[in-house]
Structure 1
Amino acid sequence: MKIVVLGGGESGCGAAYLAKKKGLEVFLSDKGAIKDNYKQFLTENEIEFEEENHDEERILNADWIVKSPGIPKKADMITKIHDRDIRLSSEIEFAAEFTDAKIIAITGSNGKTTTTSLIYHILKNDGLNVGLGGNIGYSFAKQVADENHEYYVLEVSSFQLDDIQNFRPYISLLLNLSKDHLDQYNYNYEEYALAKFRIAENQENDNFFIYNKDDEMSKNILEKFEIKAKMIPFSTKEKLTEGGFINGENIQINLKDQFTMKIDELSLLGNHNVANSLAASIAGKILEINNESIRNSLMTFQAVEHRLEMVTEIDGVKYINDSKATNVNATYFALESMKNPTIWIVGGVDKGNDYTEVEDLVKRKVKAIVCLGLDNQKIIDFFKGKKELIYSTSSMEEAVKVSKSLGKSGDTVLLSPCCASFDLFNNYEDRGHQFKEQVLKANGN
C-alpha cells in the first residue's frame, strides 16, 4: 500500500513514521519548508520526503493520503484528491486504525486543551497507562508506533474530524459550540457544528458521548443527529438525575454512584472551568476511577499554558496570559472570570468576529482596551463611544508598555485576543511567550 503524507509538522512526521514502522511504502510532501528538527527525524528514519513542492503525479498515485489539519480543505491538491476518490484521512484516523487502545476524544470550540489535559491528569494520577495527543503534545501516530498505551486522551479539532471515516472513540466529549473557523465552513455555523458532531458519528451503543446540556447549538443538532452511544449530559444551569451539574456550592456527578466536591476546591478558576471539570469528572467515572482519586486530580491540576495563565504581579497589578483565546467566545469566558478592573489586550487576524457577545462584559469589567494587531480598526470602530480609553499598538512590547502605564494596584492586565495570531506572531504560543517575556522584562527580570 502506498501512503502519502501531506505536511511535515508534528502530526505529518508521526504519521509517516507509523506507516514506515508498519512496513508500508511512504512518501511525505510539504508545499512549504520543513523545520530542521523534522527533516532530521525523517532522514534518520529513512523516510522519503520533499519540501517546497508537491509532486502531483506521485501524490495522486497513492492508495491512502494522510493530511495535516493545517492544510485548507479547499486547497487545489485536496480537490484533486477527492476527484480521484483516494482515501484522505487525518492523522487521528490513520493512527486509530493501528491501535486497540481505548480512546477518549475531546472537541468543542473552547476548553478543549484544558479538558484534555485534565482528563489525562485524572487517568495518569490513577496509575493508568495513558498517552496524550491529537491537537496537543506529541503526535498520536508516533505514540501508537512506539508506545503501548492502553488509553489515549486526544484533543480533536473540526479540521481533524473533517477527514475521518472510521474513527470511533470509546468516550467522546463535545464541550460547547460557538462561531469559529467559519471561513473554512462557507460562513455557515451549522456546517461547522456538524463537523464537531462527527466525533460521535461512528460510535456504537457500548460507547459514551458526553455533551453540554446548556449549549443551544448542540441542542438544535441533537434534534436531527442520531447518536448511538450512551449520552451523558453536564450542565451549570440545571440539576440532572444522571450526569454532572452544580448543586449549591458543589459540583455533583450522578453516574453509578455519586461524586461531589466543593467548587472552591477546584484548581481551575472561572465558570467555564467548572463546566470543564464536570465533563472531565464524568469521563473519570465512566472509566471507574474512584472518587478520592478524581477529587485529588481536580485539586492538583495545573492550568494549561496560554489559557488564563497567571504570569506575575507587578506593583499590585496581575498579568494574565490567555493567548489561546482565538475567538470571541473564549474571551467571553476570560472576561467573565475577571474580578478586578481589567486592561484588555485584544486583536490580531479577525475571523469574522462579532464583538456584541462581549459588549456588556467590556462595559462592566474593562477599564481600558489595548488593541494589538496590524489592523485594529474593526475593534476601535466597535468600541468607540462605549469605552473612553482605547489604544492602538502593533507590537507586544508596545502593548505591554501601554498596559503597564495604565495599571494601578488592584487592576488586571489580560491578554485575551479574540483573534488568530498570524499577523504579528507564528502562532498563539509565540504570542503568549512574547507577552510573558515582555511582562517579565517590564518587571526587571
Structure 2
Amino acid sequence: MKGLEGVKQVVVIGLGMTGLSVVNHLQRAAQPLDIKVIDTREHPPGREQLPPSVELCSGQWQMDWLMAADMIVSSPGIALATPQLQQAAAAGIEIVGDIELFARTVDKPVVAITGSNGKSTVTSLVGEMAKEAGINVGVGGNIGLAALDMLAEDHDLYVLELSSFQLETTSNLALKAAAYLNLSEDHMDRYPGGLAQYSTAKMRIFNHTELAVFNREDLATKPATDGCELALVSFGLNAGNADSTERYGLVEHCGEEWLAIAGEPVMPSKDIALVGRHNVANSLAALALADAAGIDREASCRALRRYNGLAHRCQLVAEQHGVKWVNDSKATNLASTLAALNGLQLDGKLHLLVGGDGKGADFSELAPVLATLDTQLYCFGRDGHQFAPLVPQPVMVETMEQAMSQAAHTARAGDMILLSPACASFDQFANFMVRGDTFVELAQSLQHQVGKDS
C-alpha cells in the first residue's frame, strides 16, 4: 500500500465511522501493522466493531503509544493544535488524516468540493450527474460514506466533500477538478487566526488539482497562481465571458434566464429541481466539475431537472392550515441561514427558529435581512441569547421544542415555520441530522395545533 513504506506502528486518533474506516483500510495493507486506537471519549462509538488485534485506549490520551508511532492518523475532529499532537509532531512523527490515506491509494479520477456552505449539495449533485451518465461513482468524504470505505467498491469516479478539518491533514490528493464554493465565518473556535486561517486550510484543495473551480462573486475562493500553470474556471450568477475563466453563468434566452457555459445557453434555470437562488450557483459549480470529470452534458442537465436535494436543507416537511414547516437544520452557520433567507417570499409571517452552539460567530449580519421580512424570531439553546438584539421582540426559550410549540400556536395561514438555526447542534443534539429529525417529528405532530390560540 502506497505511503506506508517503513511504517510498522500506527496510532489512530478517534473512532466512529471514520476511525473504523481507517482501521479496516490499514488492515488491508500488504505488510503487517501494529494498529492502536485512542479515543478520549469513555464509550466511543464503534468500539464493538474493532478487530480483536487492535488495542483501544478510551477516556484519555496514551502518550507512550503516540510517541512510539511511525504514523498517526488523526480524526478531523481533533485539532492539530491539540498539545498531545503538537508533542508528537515536534518529535517528527507523521500526522495524516483519512483523506491523505485515500489519496495515497486511489487510482481512479477524483473531484472534490469545499466551501463554507453548499458543499454537500454540490457533492451530491455531481454524484447524481455521474449516475445519470451511467458512471460507477462513489460519493463521500465529509458526507455519507467514509472515503476509505469507498475504495473497496472500486468505483470509476470519486466525488468527495472535504471540510477544512480534513484538508489540514491532506497533502497529496491529486484531483481532476476541485471547487471552492464560498467563504464565510465558521468554526472560529477552531481557528484562532480567524477567517484567513480557515480559508488557508480550504485552499489546500487546490494543491494538486488539474482544474480549480472558484466563485467569481466571492474572490476569496480564487487561488493565487503565483506563476504556476494552474487552470482556472469560475461560476457566478452573471453572464460570464466565453474568452476568460468566467465560463459558467447565466444568460437571457428566449425571454427567460438560462444556465450558460461560455455564453451558450444550456437549460432554463427555472427547470432546476433544487429550490433557492443559492442553488442556481451550486448547479453551475456542479456543471463545471461534471464537465472536468468527462460527464455527459445532457446527463448532467437531466440530473439538474430531477434532483431535489438533501434532507435537512430547506426541506418542506409538513404543511397544514396554510402553514409550511421547513427543516434547514444543516444551516450550522450564519452564511447558511442568510442563504435560506435570501429572496424568500411569503404571503404571511416568517417564524424563524435560531440558536444552538454559535461557535464564536457574530450574528449581526442577520439583522438587515430580518428587517426586510415580517419575522418572529424564536431563540433557543446555549447561544440563543446572541440573537435577541437582532429584532425588537424575540421569543426566548430553552429548547427547540418550546420554540416550535409557541410558533405552532401563533402561526396563521400563509406563514412559514423555519428551522434555520445558524448554529451547530452539539449543545442539545448529537448532530444536525438528529436536530432535523426531531424537528420533522415535532412538526408533524404540532401542525394540527396551528392557530389554536386564535
Output the CA distance in 2 between the equivalents of 1:263 and 1:237.
12
Match for residue 170 of structure 2 among 164, 167, 173: 164
Output the CA distance in 2 between the equivalents of 1:366 and 1:155.
35
Q: 1:359 maps to what in 2?
A: 367
Which segments of 5 or more consecutive residues in structure 2 lack a partner in the other structure?
1-6, 450-454
Deviation at 1:315, TM superposition (A): 1.1
Q: 1:8 maps to what in 2?
A: 15
Q: What is the TM-score of this pair, normalised by structure 2?
A: 0.90
Match for residue 64 of structure 2 among 42, 47, 57: 57
Q: 2:195 maps to what in 1?
A: 189
Output the CA distance in 1 between the equivalents of 2:10 and 2:374.
52
Output the CA distance in 1 between the equivalents of 2:441 and 2:419.
13
Contact 2:116 2:182 in 1 (8 A): yes
**Gap change, CA 1:217 and 1:318, over 3 Å in 2:** same
Deviation at 1:376, TM superposition (A): 2.5
In the alignment, does 2:419 pair up with 1:415? yes
In the alignment, does 2:39 pair up with 1:30? yes
**Gap change, CA 1:57 and 1:259, over 3 Å in 2:** farther
Contact 1:68 1:90 in 2 (8 A): yes
Q: 1:339 maps to what in 2?
A: 345
Q: 1:142 maps to what in 2?
A: 149
Deviation at 1:238, TM superposition (A): 4.3
1:174-231 per-position Cα deviation (integer Å, ceiling 9, x unaligned): 001111112222142111111111101133xxx1111101104235xx4576664311
Deviation at 1:295, TM superposition (A): 1.2
Q: 2:211 maps to what in 1?
A: 208
Q: 1:236 maps to what in 2?
A: 237
**Gap change, CA 1:187 and 1:346, over 3 Å in 2:** farther
1:3-56 per-position Cα deviation (integer Å, ceiling 9, x unaligned): 2111001111101110011144122221113445x2232137x43333223321
Output the CA distance in 2 between the equivalents of 1:113 and 1:124.
16
Output the CA distance in 2 between the equivalents of 1:398 and 1:225.
53
One-letter amino acid of the structure 1 residue matched with residue 154 of structure 2: N
Output the CA distance in 2 between the equivalents of 1:399 and 1:310.
18
One-letter amino acid of the structure 1 residue matched with residue 304 of structure 2: L
In the alignment, does 2:317 pair up with 1:316? no
One-letter amino acid of the structure 2 residue matched with residue 413 of structure 1: I
Bigger shift: residues 223-232 or 76-85: 223-232
In the alignment, does 2:65 pair up with 1:92? no
Output the CA distance in 1 between the equivalents of 2:373 and 2:89.
49
One-letter amino acid of the structure 1 residue matched with residue 322 of structure 2: G
C-alpha RMSD over aligned residues: 1.9
**Gap change, CA 1:337 and 1:310, over 3 Å in 2:** farther
User: 1:95-106 to 2 correspondence within 5 Å?
Assistant: 95-106=102-113
Q: 2:3 maps to what in 1?
A: none
Give the secondary-structure state (helix, strand or coil) at the position aligned to 2:341. helix
Bigger shift: residues 169-178 or 46-55: 46-55
Give the secondary-structure state (helix, strand or coil) at the position aligned to 2:262. strand
Q: 1:174 maps to what in 2?
A: 180
Output the CA distance in 2 between the equivalents of 1:337 and 1:114.
19
Deviation at 1:437, TM superposition (A): 1.2
Q: 1:307 maps to what in 2?
A: 313
% identity of equivalent residues? 32
**Gap change, CA 1:33 and 1:147, over 3 Å in 2:** farther
Output the CA distance in 2 between the equivalents of 1:47 and 1:228.
45
Output the CA distance in 1 between the equivalents of 2:21 and 2:201.
24
1:368-407 per-position Cα deviation (integer Å, ceiling 9, x unaligned): 0001113432211x22xxx344101112221111111221
Q: 2:285 maps to what in 1?
A: 279
Output the CA distance in 1 between the equivalents of 2:337 and 2:125.
20
One-letter amino acid of the structure 2 residue matched with residue 254 of structure 1: A
Contact 1:259 1:291 in 2 (8 A): no
Q: 2:447 maps to what in 1?
A: 443
In the alignment, does 2:413 pair up with 1:406? no
1:125-175 per-position Cα deviation (integer Å, ceiling 9, x unaligned): 21111111111111111222x211121111100011111121222211100
Q: What is the TM-score of this pair, normalised by structure 1?
A: 0.92
Give the secondary-structure state (helix, strand or coil) at the position aligned to 2:189. helix
Q: 2:452 maps to what in 1?
A: none
Match for residue 160 of structure 2 among 154, 161, 164: 154
Give the secondary-structure state (helix, strand or coil) at the position aligned to 1:60. helix
Q: 1:118 maps to what in 2?
A: 125
Output the CA distance in 2 between the equivalents of 1:83 and 1:10.
28
Give the secondary-structure state (helix, strand or coil) at the position aligned to 1:423. coil
